[in-house]
Homo-oligomer: A and B are copies of this chain.
């Protein structure tokens, strides 16, 4: 296929992924039937099975898309010239904002693992996601990814998401943010330290 190919404005595959992204995330994976995904995408059912082997493959593609989005968002939020504590705070602040605007429906990976506890493909993508989060948090503090304080940041991020989704408590999210900043401060007594 050459670059001159026009094809539809957006391909059936893209529309399906966009539809799956909305529906799976807002209403859950098991509660979202294939027919609904297809109708919502404005696409023929056959187009789904031309692009994905089955529903599970669609779910995995959806999660990979979410992982990609997480990375993009994380990089967009980060200012490498800011002090460590501010870079960390930005991560939590983004979460707190989405809780308050009621656009938060939980971590797509956690939700997927809970909805499909025996699906190994889901576990694999989720493991990738968690590694990415850990690495990113480590980068924000210029710490080795294996360090104890990185584990603590991961824990606080887990906590904030659960408190947001299950507890519906933005104050808890902000408290987690405070804890994370204190953690960074404790390891960087010089305060206004900068990233790479």
Contact = CB atoms under 8 A, between A and B. Distances in A.
Contacts of A137: none
Given A31-B30, A155-B179, A159-B156, A117 B105 contact: yes
A155 B130 contact: no
Interface residues of A, number: 37
A114 B106 contact: yes
Contact of A155 (B30, B111, B172): B172
Copies, count: 2
Given A28-B115, A152-B175, A155-B176, 20 more contacts: A28-B114, A28-B117, A30-B31, A30-B115, A105-B117, A107-B166, A109-B166, A110-B165, A113-B166, A114-B115, A115-B115, A126-B166, A148-B175, A154-B167, A154-B172, A155-B172, A158-B163, A158-B166, A159-B159, A159-B162
